């Protein structure tokens, strides 16, 4: 698993749109958090590029979603990944203490803790570039002192818990437990426009089992309904970037009705998702269902490599050729097709031809010459694992093509094309900005309803005119059963579909954004 994930984008969770937040009260009993657009900052691109060269960022992705199961004996450790896409982030202002000390924080449904820099942070440069919480200046501070640590791809923040009042707009959440960060290593913190993170996930993934801010809003009777909702304005030309509404939903933010699905696993806002379609045609991979997470802290749409590769092929995105994939097709393509037609169990085909084993050691390659020069001193385990993964993807692709009654030659040609579209090691897949009109729609099935994305919605455009660059909004991450296959629906999806996080009924809802 670890070897496979190293080929996934290291910028995966450096994907965030940078907006300052403006809070506003309303007479309808809702707390509104207004999102505004901030100009592109070259320093943030530099930070993202530097971070993208660190493979540990992928480990942060794994740990953020607890993809390996337990994180070890230390129950105070959970993993969160910073996100920083090229031109913006979502963040907003809160206050901690009495009188309130102001901080900008990310509102992240993919984590559950609140943390800000501490005045006791002496040895991290990042702390000197951001406001720091000073407990002695607050009349409502209560000492806690329990140690805490949250790990990131570029390092880790660590510190200790404290308790104080937290102000969000006009709401004052009393005696809120939060982390004072005393160490903030890593370049990301140096250039970040935010000071900390305010998590909106469930308590099950909270570091130190701290009660999230959102829980205390409900418990202290500050909201009329145990609900919050996100509306992101994806029109870059407009100043207002969107709103987070605490306590309900704003009917002006969506059209039609919400489609609700139950939360299937508390921690992240996880639910069951159905088939993924390209121009209305099934891809087959999630026809039997996949798990999905709605994450306001992730810009892109993240899914299994097999289907992300099909999507990138369909939209003409280019990555780096996977030699392992082409080797599997060249040497075993005919055999795999025959075995599928003979109705052999698809999940056993790769082990039967010797590319995978399932006796506890995954991805043992047999009889295939290494495509890695021995002088590179690279581990053969990674190569073997890649061959196994390539075989598994090939079986899925060929199954889908056979269902469409394609000839063997056409199937082999198509799968070779998919090999060419496998994501590059950094995960970036570029597309031709001039080709948007010819790209297909991509649809996700949730609650029995199709949610469509047009090319202009799933392609990220950076810059204007001749210097403009377009990037696929799809990137890959492979999560094995039983937790996977897993999709992470970030801002590319949430920007088109108003999202309701219904804590009281433990469900999540989507409707077309207004």
pLDDT value at residue 155: 54
pLDDT confidence band for 150 (50 / 70 / 90): confident
Predicted confidence at residue 187, as pLDDT, reads 66
What is the reported pLDDT for 343?
A: 83
- The yes-or-no answer on residue 452 being catalytic is no
pLDDT > 50? residue 134:
yes
**Binning pLDDT at 50, 70 and 90, where does residue 239 land?**
low
Domains recognised in the chain with CATH numbers: 39-59+80-224 (2.40.70.10), 252-313+428-513 (2.40.70.10), 323-366+383-419 (1.10.225)
For the residues 265-285, what does the mean pLDDT come to? 91
Give residue 69's pLDDT band: very low, low, confident or very high (50, 70, 90): very low
Q: Residue 85 has what pLDDT?
A: 34
- Among the ranges given (45-59, 78-92, 201-215, 322-336), the one the predictor scored with the smallest mean pLDDT: 45-59
Does an H or E element contain 34, and which?
strand 31-36
pLDDT at 468 over 80: no
- CA-derived radius of gyration, the chain: 23
Considering the chain, what is the average pLDDT of its residues? 77
Task: Kindly list the strands in the beta sheet with 442-446, ordered across the sheet, starting from the edge strand earlier in the chain.
Answer: 281-282, 276-278, 442-446, 449-453
Per DSSP, the three-state class of 336 is helix
Cβ atoms 488, 302 nearer than 8 A: yes
Q: Which of 148, 44, 151 is nearest to 91 (CA)?
A: 44
Residues linked to residue 25 through DSSP beta bridges, in sequence order: 31
Label residue 91 by pLDDT band (50, 70, 90). confident
% pLDDT > 70, the chain: 72
b vs e for 316-348, b when ≥16 Cβ sit within 10 Å of the residue's Cβ?
ebbbeebebbbbbbeebbeebbebbeeeeeeee
Q: Are strands 301-303 and 474-476 parallel, antiparallel or unpaired?
A: parallel
pLDDT digits (tens, 9 = 90+) for 151-199: 754 457 899 999 999 999 889 999 999 999 999 876 666 767 789 989 9
**List 78, 87, 164, 295, catalytic entry:** 295
Which among 92-96, 364-368, 425-429 has the top mean pLDDT?
Answer: 92-96
CB neighbour class for 377 (10 Å; exposed up to 12, middle 13-18, buried from 19): exposed
The residue behind tokens 């923040």 is 157
* 47-56, 162-171, 293-302, 479-488, range with the lowest pLDDT: 47-56
Does the pLDDT value for residue 440 go beyond 90?
yes
The answer on pLDDT for 120 being more than 60 is yes
Band (pLDDT 50/70/90 cuts) for residue 504 is: very high
Of 113-127, 203-217, 237-251, 418-432, the poorest mean pLDDT is in: 418-432
pLDDT > 90: percent of the chain: 39
Is 359 among the residues known to form the active site?
no
Please say whether the beta carbons of 166 and 95 come within 8 A.
yes
Contact indicator for 142, 163 with CB cutoff of 8 Å: yes
Strand partners, 94: 103
SS3 for 229-287 is EEEECCCCCCCEEEEEEECCCCHHHEEEEEEEEECCECCCCEEEECCEEECCEECCCCC
Token pair for residue 498? 């108003």
Q: Has residue 294 got a pLDDT over 80?
A: yes
**pLDDT at residue 27, as a whole number:** 52
Predicted confidence band at 28 (pLDDT cuts at 50, 70, 90)? low
Token look-up 């935010």 returns: 194
Structure tokens belonging to residue 135: 């407990």
Greater confidence (503 vs 424) lies with 503
Q: Which of 78, 87, 108, 164 is catalytic?
A: 108
Q: Indicate whether 2 pLDDT > 60.
A: no
Q: Which residues pair with 176 in a beta bridge?
A: 164
């Amino acid at each position: 698993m670890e070897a496979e994930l190293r080929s996934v984008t290291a910028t995966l969770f450096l994907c965030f749109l940078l907006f300052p937040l403006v809070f506003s009260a309303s007479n309808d009993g809702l707390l509104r958090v207004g999102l505004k657009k901030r100009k592109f900052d070259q320093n943030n691109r530099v930070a993202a590029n530097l971070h993208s060269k660190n493979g540990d960022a992928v480990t942060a992705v794994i740990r953020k979603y607890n993809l390996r199961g337990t994180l070890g004996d230390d129950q105070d450790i959970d993993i969160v990944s910073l996100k920083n896409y090229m031109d913006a982030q979502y963040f907003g202002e809160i206050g901690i203490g009495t009188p309130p000390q102001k901080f900008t924080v990310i509102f992240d449904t993919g984590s559950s803790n609140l943390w800000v820099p501490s005045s006791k942070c002496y040895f991290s440069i990042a702390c000197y570039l951001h406001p720091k919480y000073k407990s002695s200046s607050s009349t409502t501070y209560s000492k806690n002192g329990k140690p805490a640590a949250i790990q990131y791809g570029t390092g880790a923040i660590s510190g200790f818990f404290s308790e104080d009042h937290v102000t969000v707009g006009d709401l004052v959440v009393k005696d809120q437990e939060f982390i004072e960060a005393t160490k903030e290593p890593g370049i990301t913190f140096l250039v970040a426009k935010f000071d900390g993170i305010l998590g909106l996930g469930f308590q099950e993934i909270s570091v130190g089992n701290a009660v999230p801010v959102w829980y205390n809003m409900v418990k202290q009777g500050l909201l009329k309904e145990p609900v919050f909702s996100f509306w992101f304005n994806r029109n870059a030309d407009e100043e207002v970037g969107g709103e987070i509404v605490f306590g309900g939903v704003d009917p002006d933010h969506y059209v039609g009705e919400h489609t609700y699905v139950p939360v299937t696993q508390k921690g992240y806002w996880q639910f069951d998702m159905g088939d993924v379609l390209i121009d209305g045609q099934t891809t087959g991979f999630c026809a039997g269902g996949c798990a999905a997470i709605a994450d306001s802290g992730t810009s892109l749409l993240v899914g299994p490599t097999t289907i992300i590769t099909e999507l990138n092929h369909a939209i003409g995105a280019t990555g780096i050729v996977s030699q392992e994939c082409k080797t599997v097709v060249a040497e075993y393509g005919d055999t795999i097709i025959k075995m599928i037609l003979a109705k052999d169990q698809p999940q056993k085909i790769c082990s039967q031809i010797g590319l995978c084993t399932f006796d506890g050691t995954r991805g043992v390659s047999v009889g295939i010459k290494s495509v890695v020069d021995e002088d590179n001193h690279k581990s053969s385990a990674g190569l073997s694992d890649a061959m196994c993964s390539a075989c598994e993807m090939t079986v899925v692709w060929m199954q889908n093509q056979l269902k469409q009654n394609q000839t063997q030659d056409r199937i082999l040609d198509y799968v070779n094309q998919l090999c060419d579209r496998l994501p590059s090691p950094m995960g970036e897949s570029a597309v031709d900005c001039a080709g948007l009109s010819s790209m297909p729609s991509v649809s996700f099935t949730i609650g029995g309803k199709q949610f469509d994305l047009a090319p202009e919605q799933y392609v990220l455009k950076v810059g204007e005119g001749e210097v403009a660059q377009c990037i696929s909004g799809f990137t890959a991450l492979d999560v094995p059963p039983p937790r996977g296959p897993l999709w992470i629906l970030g801002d590319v999806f949430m920007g088109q579909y108003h999202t309701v996080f219904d804590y009281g009924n433990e469900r999540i809802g989507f409707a077309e954004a207004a």
